[in-house]
């Protein structure tokens, strides 16, 4: 089986993490997804990510995304975005002046995403979707936490290739960790703003 066939079948499976864990230390994965392998042992702030390194978080996110994938506009594209959403943490993670781990701007390291995607596919539609979703993946939950205006939500939705898929990715990202907080309040607010956006563009 070639790598792409394996990857696409794995991403569309019910629990993709189990297949990635099986090949975690393999040359097979390192040669084809070095950006993913680079996430192994990259630390995260335990306050937000008690589950451990970025690899572990990514595995939890893709399992959560798998539950949601059939609600997305394109399940494979959506799963690819979930897999690559934190690639940038490999190059941006560091301690701040107080010794706190942070990964500022990791969602903007789109060259890593483009490089990884180019190794897998020349499908420009896939590239555009994943790059867009990764760039915006932190925005939905952040806007809720900041109690942002409806104008800010509308701007975000307008920037998204698929606003609803973006909300699905934000949900998977939130739930893909240990000791996860209740997502219902955030999801309720996001759904309300999304419906307002749809009405405005009807």
Between 1-5, 7-11, 60-64, the lowest mean confidence (pLDDT) is in: 1-5
In this prediction, residue 47 has a pLDDT band, given cuts at 50, 70 and 90, of confident
Query: How large is the average pLDDT for residues 124-148?
Result: 98
CA 173/CA 170 separation, integer angstroms: 5
Q: 74 by DSSP, 3-state: which? A: coil
At residue 17's C-alpha, the angle toward residues 48 and 111, to 5°, is 70
Query: How large is the average pLDDT for residues 156-161?
Result: 98
The pLDDT, as a whole number, for residue 30 is 96
What is the phi/psi pair of residue 140, to 5°? Answer: -55, -55
Query: How large is the average pLDDT for residues 28-50?
Result: 94
CB-neighbour burial class of residue 30 (10 A; exposed 0-12, middle 13-18, buried 19+): middle
Q: Is the pLDDT of residue 137 over 80?
A: yes
The pLDDT, as a whole number, for residue 201 is 86
Query: How large is the average pLDDT for residues 119-127?
Result: 96
User: Mind listing the pLDDT tens digit for each residue in 48-71?
Assistant: 899 989 999 999 999 999 999 999
Q: Which residue has the tokens 């306050």?
A: 47
**Class of domain 3-200 (CATH, top level):** mainly alpha
CB-neighbour burial class of residue 96 (10 A; exposed 0-12, middle 13-18, buried 19+): exposed
Query: How large is the average pLDDT for residues 27-51?
Result: 94
The pLDDT, as a whole number, for residue 119 is 95
Q: Is the pLDDT of residue 202 over 80?
A: no
Q: Is the pLDDT of residue 1 over 80?
A: no
Cβ neighbours of residue 170 under 8 Å, at least 6 residues apart?
137, 138, 139, 140, 141, 190
């Amino acid at each position: 089986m070639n790598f792409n066939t394996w990857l696409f079948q794995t991403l569309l499976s019910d629990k993709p993490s189990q297949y990635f864990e099986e090949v975690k230390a393999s040359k097979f994965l390192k040669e084809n997804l070095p950006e993913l392998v680079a996430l192994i042992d990259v630390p995260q702030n335990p306050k937000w990510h008690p589950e451990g390194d970025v690899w572990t978080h990514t595995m939890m996110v893709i399992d959560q995304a798998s539950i949601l994938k059939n609600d997305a506009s394109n399940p494979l594209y959506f799963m690819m975005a979930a897999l690559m959403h934190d690639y940038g943490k490999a190059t941006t993670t560091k301690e701040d002046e107080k010794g706190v781990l942070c990964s500022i701007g990791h969602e903007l390291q789109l060259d890593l995403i483009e490089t990884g995607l180019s190794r897998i596919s020349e499908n420009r539609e896939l590239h555009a979707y994943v790059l867009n979703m990764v760039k915006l993946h932190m925005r939905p939950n952040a806007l809720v936490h900041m109690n942002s205006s409806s104008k800010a939500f509308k701007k975000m939705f307008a920037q998204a290739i698929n606003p609803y898929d973006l909300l699905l990715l934000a949900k998977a990202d939130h739930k893909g960790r240990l000791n996860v907080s209740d997502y219902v309040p955030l999801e309720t607010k996001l759904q309300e703003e999304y419906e307002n956006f749809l009405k405005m563009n009807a």
